[in-house]
A and B are shown apart, each in its own frame.
Chain A
Amino acid sequence: MTAKLKMSQSDAACAEGSICINNLNVYYGDRHALKNININLPTRSITAIIGPSGCGKTTLLKCFNRLIDSVDDITVTGQVLVDGDDIFAPEAEVTDIRKRMGLLSQRPYPLPMSIYENVAFGPKLHGVKEKSKLNEIVEHYLKEASLWDEVKDRLNTPASRLSIGQQQRLCLARGLAVEPDIILGDEPTSALDPISSHHIEQKFLELKKEYTIVVVTHILRQARRIADYLIFMYMGEIVEHGPAKEILENPKEKRTQEYVKGIIS
């Protein structure tokens, strides 16, 4: 009874574009990788998940778009509500869930096709067929990712010929082209040079006006630069979460203090 009450409360708090997590537990075989995660992520802002390697940051992120499904021997219990829908519910359609999120991974992985085809891949899957409409979409999102001017004359060349920084922006354009509400980044700048990293960070700061952005990062300075909200994880648990400024300047928990000061990393 009380559980039901709790659920409806969190449902109410879950506005469009938000992610609400209730009692989420993830096991890799016997290993308890995420322990009792309960948190609501704020919309239209950047949430950074920080913590030492192996603390469960990426696992948590993979729960949001259910890429966790493809891991062998995985058990997930609890709820993740996106726009109020439980994405782990049996009737949830995994391709619909993923359509609501763009993903940037650690290294850019352009699909083995042309620049144009990379951006058009998602829209085509979701039913856009007219060439003129696709052209429009490709141009719009390449501009959105600040890549258009660099590639407009060679849209039909393989995406793998781009520099790694350009590739990551292409992946951003590709992700945005499915018109998601949420952007997920899994250490999206870790393979990039400082200038390209800066590019992506700036882009995130612009995009947060329209999107809910969740970034996993192990770079504390990056979290400081871009995050509005911070989640600090340690050994599969959320130790502390709150507005970024508060956590960085005034952490309450000892482990957070140690991490922020660089004693543990």
Chain B
Amino acid sequence: MSSQGRILKDKIAHKVMLAFVWLTIILLLVIALGLFIKAWPLFKTVSISDLLFSTTWVPYEGKFGMLSFIISTFWVTGVATVIAVPLCLLCAIYLSEYANKKVIAWVSPLIDILAGIPSVIFGIWGVIVIVPFVRDILAPMFGVSSTGYSILAGGIVLSIMVFPIVIYVLLEVFKTVPEDLRNAALSLGANKWIMIRKVLLRKAGPGIISAIVLGFSRALGETLAVLMVVGNVVDLPSNPLEAGYPLPAMIANNYGELLSIPMYDSALMLCALVLFVIVVFFNIIARIILRRIEKKIS
């Protein structure tokens, strides 16, 4: 009797968990579908190439060219990645290979705190510190005048926000490299730095890419902090010291306003769909690269 009850419980638990897994997958499809349906009316009046490859964004004239937003998104994310990846790699290597337990015990709670800071605080900090820093120091260095509200400021703030996530994933990745593999390289007379470069980084290669992709995906969608420092000017940016207007910031700033303009809400939904597709596409490409590297190594 009781054994039958236990079997039943086991079966129910199994089914419930499976149902939740399906729910997650379906949720992804429902989001994509919802955005698509809402954006659909726009496709009937404006051609897709005008939407994706034009920079003319004049909603009350029915012109919804979103290229500036797409390019801005890539700029901010690219700048953030260029700043964050080397820093995160060096930090994670230090924590995993050089630091003793005391340092780790001291540093990891701080990284935890960094991960938990709400993005609005990063935004305010960006406005107070990073924007003037770009305006008064970085821009003059390149002989450019800038208000400071720029893609660079957005990238810097964003790089700090993805920092804890990427470090955590990297540390987990380095943990999976067996101690004896490190010892094998060391026992051949390699010093620590050579061991790290030739063995650790190579062995951890696929994991490092995963970590970067995770950071990248997070960066693509980050809204509030970026919105506060990036300038929000509808224009095709040509360098990081200019203002930009990434997709998430644009959607957040405009949704709920001016919806009386025809097709405006459809255009915003299309922006969201484009962002969604970029993130999904990016993850798929990363997965393909990952599989190739894994094949090469093993």
Contacts and interface: CB of A to CB of B under 8 A. Distances in A.
Interface of A: 65, 67, 70, 72-73, 95-96, 98-99, 101-103, 105-107, 109, 111-113, 121-122, 125-126, 158, 160-161, 171, 174-175, 178
A98 B192 CA distance: 13
B203 interface: yes
B183 A105 contact: yes
Interface stretch (B73-81, B194-202, B277-285): B194-202
A105 B199 contact: no
Interface in B283-298: 296-298
B180 A95 contact: no
Given A72-B101, A160-B298, A95 B203 contact: no
Contact of B189 (A109, A126, A158): A126
Q: How large is the interface on B (under 10, 10 to 19, 20 to 34, 35 or more residues)?
A: 20 to 34
Contacts of A125: 188-190, 194
B185 A121 contact: yes
B189 A178 contact: yes
A103 B194 CA distance: 18
B202 A112 contact: yes
Nearest 8 Cβ contacts at the A-B interface: A103-B187, A122-B188, A99-B189, A109-B181, A109-B184, A112-B203, A112-B202, A95-B189
B186 interface: yes
A157 to B, nearest CB: 11
Q: Is the interface of B mostly helix, strand, loop or mixed?
A: helix
Contacts of A96: 189
10 contacts: A72-B101, A95-B189, A98-B189, A102-B187, A109-B180, A109-B184, A111-B185, A112-B181, A113-B202, A178-B189
B24 interface: no
A175 B188 contact: yes
A111 B181 contact: yes
B137 to A, nearest CB: 41
A105 B188 contact: no
B4 interface: no
B191 interface: yes
Interface string B98-131: 0011000000000000000000000000000000
A158 B183 CA distance: 19
Interface string B145-161: 00000000000000000
